[in-house]
A and B are shown apart, each in its own frame.
Chain A
Amino acid sequence: MTAMDAYNFAYLDEETKRMIRRALLKAVAIPGYQVPFASREMPMPYGWGTGGVQVTAACLMADDVLKVIDQGADDTTNAVSIRRFFQRTADVAVTEETEAATIIQTRHRIPEAALREGQIMVFQVPIPEPLRFLEPRETETRRMHALADYGLMQVKLYEDIARHGEIATAYAYPVRVEGRYVMDPSPIPKFDNPKLNDSPALMLFGAGREQRIYALPPYTQVESLDFDDHPFVASKADHACDICGATESYLDEVITDDQGGRMFVCSDTAFCRSRQGDAA
């Protein structure tokens, strides 16, 4: 018996995939709305991307090319283990190149390379509810979404400015979708927020532990919340990449020793490598 025969295609059974696809269809039909779904137990712990893995499993076809990134990198534990998981259970082709991939599962980043039509981005989401830390009651946050009662979200940004002099929220920066639902774009840095707007790719968000799926269909209007006199700024470290020299990509700060040594490198490893190739 080969490894493939030991599993149903992409691990999940067909009924489960069907259930997830129905949730996905509803999510695409109502951009930004959190659709509940019956999240399954996956062979990995919560927090490792069980929501994203289920969404990917439900979308994956035999001819898909899969890319998995974690904090922008293709070679970190989380990315490697999920990529291997689908190689083993679905036998799909994998890649590290953003342009070559048809499905990209991601944690905390949107790749630097421009996405194109036909691609699917799958985000792993820890806490899908943008209002959760302001209003702990689920019944109340649901009602607030239903009534588009979003003054409270603005209060959070007000508090940021009052305390730090600017909007200090740097990741999971709340967005408003098509002027209706306020959505948590998963913990991507706010640098990536503009990439959500009017994107040609389909964006799917899966939260396994919280059992929610939401989506942005291609070319959806996504607007980051802000104040008239404190507009949204897609910030990044004010530096160039120490490896490839890129100034327009999102950077990670890497501590290199205990003498205060540090370097800034592209968080998107595939992007950085492609630039090094160009330079050589």
Chain B
Amino acid sequence: MNPLFTVRDLEKRYGTRIGCTDVSFDLWPGEVMGIVGESGSGKSTLLSCLAGHMPPDRGEVHFDGRDVLAMSEPERRFLARTEWAFVHQNPRDGLRMAVSAGGNVGERLMAVGARHYGDIRETATDWLGRVEIAADRIDDRPSAFSGGMQQRLQIARNLVTGPRLVFMDEPTGGLDVSVQARLLDLLRGLVRRLGLSAIIVTHDLAVVRLLADRLMVMKGGRVVETGLTDQVLDDPQHPYTQLLVSSVLQV
């Protein structure tokens, strides 16, 4: 078996400051990797570089044997809306707020050439069901949805084309705890059932404990510790990771 996604020596600088540097990892099919760290540790910079939103200064990114950084923009855009998905922290960044829920889910289908209204609508209805949004809300705009529903809609919109790799940037940020739990449950189900690979950026250790197989801890733009999730969280080696784990509030 070959890794699905390979990253080697990735570096991004903002002027003389480091965004992230010396990042290398392999992601295997069906594997979920969490990237944790405090604010400003370079998690989001890294994710933007991986997802092709920002060009890195150095390094290599391969997806399924293809060099992502050498791709032309049309190729990368096509990849980004077929085999990749990106779930934004704020659903407003990932949704079209003036377009109905059905249109939001259908956009990716239409962008890759679907031209049959009935089929698009059927697929959209199916996906709304999978993310637990009632079918009769299909013509409502996301602005009429609650925060949790918007986030679920964003997930449906991203997964509708059957991607193999999902990037998530704080998917549960800004949601209250019970909604978070439900969303995490849903995500875990979808990821496992569809056999997706995912890279999840978060500062919430509970999220990665639940979703991620493997963990990468970042500080100051560098990876300070990697390992299996339970191993890193239960037996942290690096002082920073120890600090991170011990500063989780216990109820």
Binding site for B on A (CB under 8 A): 147-149, 151-152, 154-155, 158-159, 161-163, 226-230
B102, CB-defined interface residue at 8 Å: yes
Q: Are A151 and B77 in contact (CB under 8 A)?
A: no
> In the complex where A161-B117, A227-B115, A227-B117 touch, is A151 in contact with B108 (Cβ < 8 A)?
yes
Which residues of the partner chain A approach B116 to less than 8 Å between Cβ atoms?
Answer: 227-229
Contact of A159 among B74, B100, B111 (CB under 8 A): B100
Q: Count how many pairs of residues, one from A and one from B, have CB atoms less than 8 Å apart in the complex.
A: 52
Known: A151-B108, A152-B107; 15 extra A-B contacts, CB below 8 A, are A147-B77, A151-B111, A152-B111, A154-B111, A155-B99, A158-B102, A158-B103, A158-B110, A158-B117, A159-B100, A159-B103, A161-B117, A163-B100, A227-B116, A227-B117
Q: Are A229 and B108 in contact (CB under 8 A)?
A: no
Contact of B102 among A148, A152, A162 (CB under 8 A): A162
* Bound Cα distance A224, B202 (Å): 45
For window 16-43 of chain B, which residues contact chain A by CB distance below 8 Å?
Answer: none
A-B CB proximity, top 6 nearest: A151-B111, A154-B110, A227-B117, A151-B110, A228-B116, A147-B74
Which residues of the partner chain B approach A230 to less than 8 Å between Cβ atoms?
Answer: 117
Q: Are B118 and A229 in contact (CB under 8 A)?
A: yes
Which residues of the partner chain A approach B77 to less than 8 Å between Cβ atoms?
Answer: 147, 149
Contact of B111 among A149, A161, A163, A228 (CB under 8 A): A149
B106, CB-defined interface residue at 8 Å: yes
Which of A147, A151, A163, A229 neighbours the largest number of chain B CB atoms within 10 Å of its CB?
A151
Binding site for A on B (CB under 8 A): 73-74, 77, 96, 99-100, 102-103, 106-108, 110-112, 115-118, 120-121, 138-139
Q: Are B112 and A155 in contact (CB under 8 A)?
A: no
What's the minimum C-beta distance from A163 to chain B, rounded to whole angstroms? 7
* Bound Cα distance A158, B103 (Å): 7
* Bound Cα distance A159, B98 (Å): 10
A-B contact pairs, 16 of them (CB 8 A): A147-B77, A148-B74, A154-B110, A154-B115, A155-B96, A155-B99, A155-B103, A158-B110, A158-B120, A159-B103, A162-B102, A162-B121, A227-B117, A229-B117, A229-B118, A230-B117
What's the minimum C-beta distance from A14 to chain B, rounded to whole angstroms? 41
Q: Are A162 and B139 in contact (CB under 8 A)?
A: yes
Q: Are B139 and A163 in contact (CB under 8 A)?
A: yes
* Bound Cα distance A159, B102 (Å): 8
Which residues of the partner chain B approach A154 to less than 8 Å between Cβ atoms?
Answer: 110-111, 115
What's the minimum C-beta distance from B101 to chain A, rounded to whole angstroms? 10
* Bound Cα distance A211, B211 (Å): 52
> In the complex where A227-B117, A229-B118 touch, is A147 in contact with B139 (Cβ < 8 A)?
no
* Bound Cα distance A159, B100 (Å): 7
Which residues of the partner chain A approach B106 to less than 8 Å between Cβ atoms?
Answer: 155, 158
> In the complex where A147-B77, A229-B118 touch, is A159 in contact with B112 (Cβ < 8 A)?
no
* Bound Cα distance A158, B102 (Å): 9
Q: In the complex, what residue of chain A is closest to B113 when comparing beta carbons?
A: A151
> In the complex where A161-B117, A163-B139, A227-B116 touch, is A155 in contact with B73 (Cβ < 8 A)?
no
What's the minimum C-beta distance from B2 to chain A, rounded to whole angstroms? 30
What's the minimum C-beta distance from A142 to chain B, rounded to whole angstroms? 13
What's the minimum C-beta distance from A25 to chain B, rounded to whole angstroms? 27
> In the complex where A158-B103, A159-B100 touch, is A151 in contact with B139 (Cβ < 8 A)?
no
Which residues of the partner chain B approach A229 to less than 8 Å between Cβ atoms?
Answer: 116-118
* Bound Cα distance A159, B112 (Å): 18
